[in-house]
Structure 1
Amino acid sequence: MSDYDIGKAFEEIENELIDSMMRNFSRHRVEEEKEGYNWTQWQAEQLKALEEYRKTNAQKFGKQFKSINSKVEEMIHTARADGNAEQEVKILEAIKNGFTPHMPTGASTGEFFKVNNCKLNALVKSTTDDLKRAETAVLRMSNDKYRKAIFNAQVYANTGAGTYEKAVDMACKDMLNAGLNCVEYKNGARHTLSDYADMAIKTANKRAYLRGEGEERAKYGLSLVVVNSRQGGCPDCAKYIGKVFIDDVYSNGKKSDGDYPLLSTAIAEGLFHPRCKDSTSTHYPELDDLSGPLSDDELAELDRQRGLEVQQQHAEKQAERFDRRAKYSLDEDNKKFAKARADEWHDRADKLAEKVKNAEDISPKAVAKSQKAVIMKSEGVLDLEQAKKRDHKIYITDTAINKVDLVKPKDFSAAQASFMKKKHKELLSVAKSQNNSNEVLFIENLDFNNEVRILGDEFVVSPGKNPFAVSVIAHAERQSLVYLHNHPSTNTFSVGDIDTFICERAVKTMSVVTNQGEVYILNKLDNYNFNDTKKILTEIYKSYPDGDIDDKDFVKKFLKRCHEGGIEYAKSK
């Protein structure tokens, strides 16, 4: 079983948990009476079903988890053996080409291999223990989501949600949007079990493989490694490409092995982070002709490739999100709408995947020469026109923060407009402290005067699950949230922004402040109508008969027509 198979197995378990839950909601519907549904009786039946759901899942999936976990240790040891074997072949080829090995002897070498075994066993234990905790968490979360949906469905029905099916769909919307995202990282980001398992197992396998390579080097007295140059990967680690290090982590290297930095220092600074695409190869001073570190043009190209990859991953996540809603929603209208959106996101993801593939097939140096970096960071002076053409990030300056102006939609009071201006300035200040270019999201709860701040990366920030879901439950149809976020480029709203603004019905206002200080606001007015807005979106989608949606053109068309659905679009002068 490969790491891909394990991730897929966990995904199937998550889908089965959700499917079973939604089947129960569909199956246990009570008879309609004159005064409406007998929700008390319905809740009692659902709570009985929940208890059976909990017991069945614990028994059924407990066995599946045990079977999957047993494969993890085997997989990690196999990765180590692969590293051993492949490195030995490469070393023997180097000997054939003239390299003379100096086989080490002594107690220190024996101790190294003993310690290495201990470290590998610790890696196996750490990985399997983390997976077990995540497996327990996904079962607990599924039970918790089921229990909350049982009680929330009646609340939504009482607010006038319409049919039973619509009420249940609203009660389960957060779960269907995010999946069973039971794993929370240190930065607050939440992930599903399958996504976490994919990351954890790939990371463990990579480390085991590197350990296997290192062991083989140590046998021949080799400890110098060079970070491989490749056509793809993450700009975060690009500064290490082409550099030689003493491998004191995997190959028993010592400071005395040469005038080079230690690999442990680079790893501590972020090299070989989770899902890192970089690797090392053995460096033979007498044989190798190093190409040296990447040029500025090559770094810019890697940055561009990463942007495409992040956009592709975002599109895939959105496709998964709408796939769940299309598959598990009970209301037929909700199913159709979600299916249409899922198809659009799948098409977009496929096109981006092709762009990523094409970008990786081209030499970074050749592409970079034809697409020279256009951002000139010098005392805050930027080539804005070129930046706009390439959607390139713009570094935030104090001038940009001070430039943020007051924007007042029709139903905003002077105090509300002033509050938004203040928050936009705060948001840019926070974004400036986050790598000077990352996206940041402020979510303001108007009913309870609460605020949540979410940090994203250079290309996207996602609210994930509604952080005010519990407090907003009593105001299911009331729009009480304000989303404020920045765009590192000079662009107005994205297709994803519009999608979130429309689908998250509790959101009343959404704004974008660019890193240059421009402000754009979408605001739902009293005459806002979801169905009219959905009709506008559908008509715009149909205007692209070949399915090749131009994001900028799409946004432009929507902003021009959004007033027809009761949405005001306002911007700074």
Structure 2
Amino acid sequence: MPVSPGMAEDLAAAISVLYEQAELALIEKVTTALAEGIDSPLWAQLKLAAVGNLQAAILEIIAALQADASGAIGQAVAEAYDRGQQAAILELGAVATGPALAAAEALPSAPAVDRLAAALVQETGATHLRILRSGLDIYRQVIAESASAPLLGVETRRQGAERALARFAEKGVTGFVDKSGRAWNLTSYVEMASRSALGRAAVEAHTDRLAAAGIDLVIVSDAPEECPRCKLWEGKVLRRDGESGAGRVEVEHATEDDRMISVSVAGSLPEARAAGLMHPNCRHSVSIYLPGVTKGPGPKEQRSRATYEQSQQQRYFERQVRRWKREAAGAMDDKRKATANAKVRAYQGRIRELVADTGLPRKPHREQLTSAR
């Protein structure tokens, strides 16, 4: 059975939803704290005096998040690794015999799972301080902006607070930058990191099993809606590990002893992955390549599904649905909440139109904000 990052996508969603809950809880805590007594002439002084109470409330959110996320990450990594192992065992069951198959089935997994889980816990844990800082920063910013608004004669204190909170709800907790320099908000960053780590766990488990069975070559699938980074590797044979670089190699036929055949190898799997293959949203898979037996993918079949660009448009619409749901959560009055909910419905309508036109599957979980703690 081929392996791909997509086989762990649902596991990543279970992790990111915890951070989505924390972000939503933060927005609601800050909004509630600021709304209380906003019409009092002493509002600004009272709010500044109560900053310690808000900090304690945010720290409670973070503590609960740490406890839940650590356990969820460990469980998700173990499951992703197991899925990768099982995919390899299913493939090997059809081709490996005797010692090779026994070695593949007996490979220990605990050290690899612990290492991968620890790395993801560390990466996501680094976001927790930013949650605290963002909550306190927006709280102080709203007090400063809304307290000065009546003096300027431009808008009421409540309107100033609503405007600042709407900006915060639109973006969420921000300030996360990946290795390529792209900026993310909290939930999107954690989802990206989790999908990357869990997809890596599944692929690593698969290749570990193949190594134990002495399988050295793999082949990349053809896939719909491929991105430019991955298209280069479609249908190519790769070394499971080892040296990079393309070339022809002489290998023994998979089923005929002492018969050597020439195979064109496009590089190594680590090289292809470093170039972008099997990124978190990648639809490609890799599977065992048996010299002289495995045939490459035929001509790409005609599909009614969308282009890569249209699949990314769907992702954009999903982000907008979540954005306006956050704004509804941070609204201080019914009118703003109704406006935000109308935006939610409008973007959901655009998603319905897109999936109807292209055949792309709708993913309702990517449009959801779960209830706050």
State the TM-score bracket (shorter-chain normalisation). 0.7 to 0.9
Q: In 2, Cα distance between the equivalents of 1:102 and 1:289?
A: 26
What is the Cα deviation at residue 162 of structure 1? 3.0
Match status 1:352 vs 2:358: no
Q: In 2, Cα distance between the equivalents of 1:331 and 1:165?
A: 10
TM-score, with length taken from structure 1: 0.53
What is the aligned partner in structure 1 of residue 205 from structure 2? 212
Q: How does 1:94-493 map to 2 (within 5 A)?
A: 94=95, 103=100, 121-248=114-241, 259-260=264-265, 261-291=267-297, 305-356=307-358, 358=359
What is the aligned partner in structure 2 of residue 69 from structure 1? 70
Distance verdict in 2 for CA 1:161–1:170, change over 3 Å:
farther
Q: Is the 8 A contact 2:120 2:193 kept in 1?
A: yes
Q: Is the 8 A contact 1:104 1:221 kept in 2?
A: no
Match status 1:18 vs 2:27: yes
What is the Cα deviation at residue 180 of structure 1? 1.5
Q: Secondary structure at the match of 2:122?
A: helix
Report Cα offsets for 1:373-415 as digits up to 9, x if no partner. Answer: xxxxxxxxxxxxxxxxxxxxxxxxxxxxxxxxxxxxxxxxxxx
Q: Secondary structure at the match of 1:240?
A: coil
Q: Is the 8 A contact 1:3 1:202 kept in 2?
A: yes
Runs of 4+ in 1 over 6 A off after TM superposition: none
What is the aligned partner in structure 2 of residue 415 from structure 1? none
TM-score, with length taken from structure 2: 0.78
What is the Cα deviation at residue 243 of structure 1? 0.8
Q: Secondary structure at the match of 1:191?
A: strand
Distance verdict in 2 for CA 1:187–1:151, change over 3 Å:
farther
What is the Cα deviation at residue 274 of structure 1? 3.1
What is the Cα deviation at residue 217 of structure 1? 1.2
AA aligned to 1:282 is I
Gaps of 5+ in 2: 1-9, 243-248, 252-262, 363-373
What is the Cα deviation at residue 245 of structure 1? 0.6
Gaps of 5+ in 1: 32-37, 250-254, 362-573
AA aligned to 1:273 is H
Q: Secondary structure at the match of 1:275?
A: coil
Report Cα offsets for 1:44-75 as digits up to 9, x if no partner. Answer: 21123321011122134313322221221232
Q: Secondary structure at the match of 1:45?
A: helix
Identity of aligned residues (%): 21
What is the Cα deviation at residue 174 of structure 1? 1.8
AA aligned to 2:144 is F
What is the aligned partner in structure 2 of residue 85 from structure 1? 86
Report Cα offsets for 1:463-482 as digits up to 9, x if no partner. Answer: xxxxxxxxxxxxxxxxxxxx
Q: Is the 8 A contact 1:239 1:293 kept in 2?
A: no
Q: Secondary structure at the match of 1:281?
A: strand
Report Cα offsets for 1:94-140 as digits up to 9, x if no partner. Answer: 35xxxx788499xxx99xx79x9766544322211011111221122
Q: Secondary structure at the match of 2:126?
A: helix
Q: In 2, Cα distance between the equivalents of 1:65 and 1:94?
A: 44
Output the aligned Cα RMSD.
3.3
Distance verdict in 2 for CA 1:339–1:73, change over 3 Å:
closer
Q: Is the 8 A contact 2:220 2:234 kept in 1?
A: yes
Q: Secondary structure at the match of 1:2?
A: helix
Q: In 2, Cα distance between the equivalents of 1:43 and 1:188?
A: 38
Distance verdict in 2 for CA 1:315–1:135, change over 3 Å:
same
